[in-house]
Amino acid sequence: MKIVLANPLLKNSINTNLERYYIRSGSRWPHSGIKRKGTLPHYLPFPFSLAYAAGLLRDNGFDVKVIDAIALDIGEDNFIDMLQREHPALVLFETTTPTIEKDLLLTQKIKKNVKTKIALCGAHATVFSRELSEACQDIDYILRNEYEYTLLELAEHLRDGKQPRDVRGITYMENTTVIFNEDAPLIEPLDILPFPARELFPMNEKSNPAIYWDGFCQYRPAIQMHASRGCPYRCYFCLWNQIMYRCGKYRMFSATRVVDEIEDTIKKYNAKEIYFDDDDFTISKRHVKDICHEIRKRRLKIKWSCMGDAINLNDEVLKTMAESGCVGLKFGVESGSPKIVTTIGKPVHLNRVKEVAKLCAKYGIKSHATFSIGLLGDDRDSINETIGFAKDLDVDTIQVSICTPYPGTEFFKRAHELNLIRTTEWEKYDGKVTEVLEPQNLSWQEIEDLKTKFLKDWSYTKMTTPSWIIRQIKYLLRWIRGIGFIFFLRQLIFVWIDELERRRFEETN
């Protein structure tokens, strides 16, 4: 039985040279980017869940075909042609909120041209599984939440000619009735999952997992990995933790398993850096230190970076991380206002954040802090307080976003109760482009102006700080040596194109 696991490409032409594309599998944050036609995105996350599912299906005797159309820059017509040639019994792909309407059209086109069953998954499909099943008869199954073992169970039932009534975690139509089977348990222990089937990505015949790229990485090839799933904290805007993992228990791969996978990527793909794109890599100090000790014990010459948090880090842990090869740490701050931080549900002490930033500089770990504005309760005073905090924070780079309330999150629920949701036109729920929330205390123009002020004030402060400049020169040289000058220049140009065109779009809409 052949199963196609797909990551379809949705793109819209902007002009003769540029197009907007949408990120799907592998990203916890649904958003679009802008790129030159015929080129790959400058940010390309590895589709972890699809890769775990591919390995699990293959290990259980299924014929698995992968088509990551985003990483291959394959448009819709070519994608359907490929499906026609494969004759799969089942096609699965992840949906997102801003692409859902086009996703439904794609299922119709697939059904029209390919004799196959279609399964959808992802956060949006999970939240609206009943509604989507009723609205689109071309959807055969919706796999809710974390879906790897649900997919395996469904595939076994289809192969063996069994009815799917007892497949946990799926929603489907039976005649005119929506069947909503009980939830599947979260996968535990995570070590029962096989390694992600990286050798099948972006396509079986074109294996090249090093094509996936996060701009925070400083060495190439950089391979993306997970060491854990979920987060014990309950930030109200966090889509993946609330929906895909149902705010469940924080789970970790064992340190031995993590470092086994690191060794595998070094051997197979000559990895020079590992990027741990966890929901939060640094929740458990013990787990982090165990991974570091295992890396050193095996004498692995590997650099690594991670998406973490400042909440549980201290001098001892950061020193241990640096000694084992850590060169980069991303962490969320969101707000410099204690009032807003409390409202979010993020148990972070802002003084600890400042301490962690200084320790990263001390140990040569490049730091990147993310901030969000336009949160519930945000006003001019709280945003200016956040700007002041960011200026005093000794980090190397920052990201400032206007927060989007994705359906299914506590953020969306609260905003809806306060009558602040401006639209449910889902294509507008693009995390980088459109404002869908009615601000409580400011106009959208004021929020946009404050975002611009945020970036300008922070940049001016850092560019007039000699110690920060010296550190950036050091990191820049490390980065260029690590990824190569040509690739560095390419990424710089593509990021600049994305940002410039996005600003033009915002000014004209």
Q: How far apart are CA 404 and CA 423, in angstroms?
A: 12
Position 505 scores a pLDDT of 65
Whether 176 is in a domain gets the answer yes
Residue that has been written with the tokens 């140990």 in this structure: 363
pTM for this predicted structure = 0.96
Please tell me whether residues 271 and 389 are part of one structural domain. Answer: yes
Q: What is the mean pLDDT of residues 25-46?
A: 92
Assess if residue 300 is contained within a domain.
yes
Q: What is the CATH number of the domain that holds 44?
A: 3.40.50
Per-residue pLDDT at 434 exceeds 80: no
Does 253 lie in the same domain as 172? no
Residue 364 makes CB contacts below 8 A (sequence gap 6+) with 322, 327
Q: Is residue 200 part of a domain?
A: no
Band the pLDDT of 508: cuts 50, 70, 90.
Answer: low
| pLDDT, position 496 | 86
pLDDT higher than threshold 90 for residue 509: no
- 296 phi and psi angles, rounded to 5 deg: -70, -35
Can you give the pLDDT at residue 274? 98
In a domain, 504, yes or no: no
Domain closes at, from 180, 208, 227: 180
Residue 162 sits in the same domain as residue 239: no
175 and 243 assigned to the same domain? no
Q: Name residue 90's beta-bridge partners.
A: 3, 117
Residues 149 and 242 in one domain: no
Question: Has residue 497 been placed in a domain?
Answer: no
Who wins on pLDDT, 444 or 483?
A: 483
pLDDT per position as a tens digit, 69-106:
999 999 999 999 999 999 999 999 999 999 999 999 99
pLDDT of residue 507: 63
pLDDT in tens, 489-506: 989 888 888 888 777 766
Shared domain check, 460 and 335: yes
* 137: containing domain: 2-180
- What residue has token string 């009558």? 419
Phi-psi region of 61 (alpha: psi -120 to 50; beta: other; left: phi over 0): left
Tens-place pLDDT, residues 133-184 = 999 999 999 999 999 999 999 999 999 999 999 999 999 999 999 999 999 9
The domain tally of the chain equals 2
pLDDT band for 431, please (50, 70, 90 cuts): confident
Looking at the structure, do residues 114 and 256 belong to the same domain, yes or no? no
The whole-number pLDDT of residue 506 equals 62
Q: Same structural domain for residues 170 and 236?
A: no
Mean pLDDT of the chain: 95
pLDDT exceeds cutoff 90 at 49: yes
Give the pLDDT confidence score for residue 175 in this predicted structure: 92
> In this predicted structure, what is the pLDDT of residue 502?
73
Tokens linked to 450? 């404050």
Q: Is residue 306 part of a domain?
A: yes
Distances 283 to 29, 64, 70, 216, 307 between C-alpha atoms, Å:
20, 34, 31, 20, 11
Q: How far is CA 352 from the centre of its chain?
A: 26
Distance separating alpha carbons of residues 367 and 142, to the nearest angstrom:
39
Q: DSSP label at 95? A: -
What CATH number corresponds to the domain at position 340?
3.80.30.20
Residue 304 shares a structural domain with residue 170: no
Whether residues 161 and 225 share a domain: the answer is: no
Task: Give the pLDDT of residue 497.
Answer: 85
Phi, psi for 350 (deg, rounded to 5): -65, -30
* Tokens found for residue 381: 């005073």
pLDDT digits (tens, 9 = 90+) for 435-473: 799 888 999 889 999 999 999 999 999 999 999 999 999
Please name which of 224, 230, 227 lies closest in space to residue 201, comparing C-alpha atoms: 224
H or E stretch covering 499? helix 485-508
Last residue within a domain, chosen from 180, 207, 242: 180
pLDDT tens-digit map of 192-205: 999 999 999 999 99
Query: Are residues 222 and 172 both part of a single domain?
Result: no
Task: Please state whether beta strands 170-174 and 177-180 pair in parallel, antiparallel, or not at all (unpaired).
Answer: antiparallel
pLDDT one-digit tens code per residue, 227-285:
999 999 989 999 999 999 999 999 999 999 999 999 999 999 999 999 999 999 999 99
**Domain presence at residue 281:** yes
Percent over 70 (pLDDT), the chain: 99
Residues 282 and 343 grouped into a single domain: yes
Mean pLDDT to the nearest integer, 273-299:
98
Task: Tell me, yes or no, whether 205 lies in a domain.
Answer: no
Chain segment 320-358, per-residue pLDDT in tens: 999 999 999 999 999 999 999 999 999 989 999 999 999
Structural tokens at position 220: 């190439």
- φ and ψ at residue 257, rounded to 5 degrees: -65, -40
Continuous segment of H or E residues that includes residue 480: helix 466-483
